[in-house]
Amino acid sequence: MTLSSWKFLLVFLPVTYLLYMLVPRRSRWAFLLGMSYVFLWLCSGELIAYLLAATFVTWACALGIGQVRHKGKLRASACKSREERKSCNAHTKKRMRALLALGAVADMGTLVVLKYGGLILEGLDALRNLLGLPALFAVSTATVALPLGISFYTLQALSYLTDVYRGKYEACRSLGTVALFLAFFPQMEEGPIGRFDLLSKQLRSGEVARGSRRAYGAQLACWGLFKKLVVADRLNPLVGELFSNHANYQGVMVVLAGLLYTLQLYADFSGVIDIARGSAELFGITLSPNFRQPFFSHDVNEFWRRWHMTLGSWLRDYVFYPVSLSSPTRKLTFWARKHLSGQAMKLVPATLALLAVWSATGIWHGAAVKYLAYGLYYFTIVMLGLIFEPMFQAFYKKIGLRRDGAVARRLAVARTFVLVCIGMVMFRANDLSDFVAMMGSLFSGVGISPLTDGSWLTHGTDKFDMLIVCIATALIFAVDLAHERGVSFRQLVFGHGVAFEWTVGLCLLSATIVFGAYGAGYTVVPSIYAGF
């Protein structure tokens, strides 16, 4: 069962919502936790045990950190000298750090073993062969089943532990609250990645959406389902053909592959996120937005501030800042100030933190070299942009073109879109060699005849499918354009009466039922980011 399946939308979600309203308010959080575990059991079976273990370890370690801090403050207040207080505080911090490390190693270690264990063993085996050493173990190529949402709830657990350690808020004494924070079913498939201080009170409030809020939640879920089934899933056969048999396509067809996969991933990922956020709204819970019109970005930095926003903010708070403030980075900054000047003095210290962030971005997506290369691709673009920024400024000044003018801004959006599409080809390709081959064949075919003769529309996608995709895509980007100009879909729909609000939702649902790619003749397409 997935968030975009009819079993979830027509059975699990409505039943859960109706029963939730019948449960006494003070017990609703417990009911929601129980139903979240039911959802996870239906999706992952006995693999739910990993989440249960992570929940207990995270709760216990955070509670331990809070207790150590409290006792440390009491001991420090009883110290008579400054040196004694300093020693006491250092001892307290050491014990807190040990508990943080214990929780982080347990949570992250499980993810590393399950998700990256095979890749690590293959790397060690390759190193053994290179050194000519005897084999000590047999390397299996079998894939390990991953619990649903492990890449997402692990980051939530780490953020909670780190925030408690930093003193951002007190450790929660309720195991149930921490459990619901990690297991809340709408966000398990693809996020968004939540923060404890933003969600904990909402999860325990027992509030039920009524009136316009209930209609908004239902409409948001319908809008997400529309994007997923009408656009993403309808494009899946063609995208699969273009990438699986890329040797048969050159030139403009490679461009088409990049464009269509970029569209498919956006419709799939943002669609499932909309279903998750709409479902959560029914229970009075507002999840963080994960997209903000990413294809209106003027550079790749801005793109990643608008795309998968909760992952970006997580990496900023728990990777970029810690690395920037770490001892090696401080030493590098000191060295740069002493030996370098100008632009180089500013860039060298930032390089270490940016390398950590973009490497983590790539590795988080999967256990393959191509994902690391995907992250380093963006790292390279960002660094080149920083290095050549003075030259860009001089160039624009020389030709008399304002950087904030309409022409320059549109050119920047187009340039960013091209760079993103190239990255998406790397992201979707089976491996790096396939990506290199596709990029190499980009200039092999000349002209647009392969596109206009219609021969590529023979792999489960016909002209009618493409017409539906084009119309639906135009609608999606019209809504994005309205949002970019400050007019939200919520503002457009609501305030015109309950009948109008529900009519819009029913129209979306009807369009999805009529034009969605599902049922006989269609293969069920799993959510793309659920695989990460």
- Concatenated DSSP letters for 279-345? HHHHTT--PPP-BS-GGG-SSHHHHHHHBSHHHHHHHIIIIIHHHHTSHHHHHHHHHHHHH--HHHH
Residue 493 burial by CB count (10 A; 0-12/13-18/19+): exposed, middle or buried? middle
Count CB-CB contacts under 10 A for residue 113: 12
Query: Which conformational region is residue 486 in: left (phi greater than 0), alpha (psi within -120 to 50 degrees), or beta?
Result: left
Q: How large is the angle between the packed helices 150-166 and 48-78, nearest 10 degrees?
A: 10
Domain ranges of the chain: 6-207, 209-287+460-532, 297-428
- Contact between 277 and 305 (Cβ < 8 Å): no
Tens digits of pLDDT across the chain (532 residues): 899 998 999 999 999 999 999 999 999 999 999 999 999 999 999 999 999 999 999 999 999 999 999 999 988 888 888 888 898 989 999 999 999 999 999 999 999 999 888 777 777 767 767 777 776 555 555 566 789 999 999 999 999 999 999 999 999 999 999 999 999 999 999 999 999 999 999 999 998 888 888 888 999 999 999 999 999 999 999 999 999 999 888 888 999 999 999 999 999 999 999 999 999 999 999 999 999 999 999 999 999 999 999 999 999 999 999 999 888 888 888 888 888 777 777 788 789 999 999 999 999 998 889 999 999 999 999 999 888 888 888 888 888 778 778 888 999 999 999 999 999 999 999 999 999 999 999 887 666 777 777 777 766 678 888 999 999 999 999 999 999 998 877 667 766 666 777 788 788 888 888 888 776 666 678 899 887 7
DSSP 103-158: HHHHHHHHHIIIIIHHHHHHHHHHHHHHHTPPP-SPPP-PPPPPPTTHHHHHHHHH
Distance CA 139, CA 231 (A): 40
| Class of residue 532 by CB neighbours under 10 A (exposed 0-12, middle 13-18, buried 19+) | middle
| Residue 488: DSSP 8-state | -
CA proximity to 39, closest of 5, 8, 10: 8
Please state the pTM of the whole predicted model: 0.93
For residue 292, report the phi and psi dihedrals to the nearest 5 degrees.
-145, 75
Whole-angstrom distance, CA of residue 190 vs CA of residue 151: 9
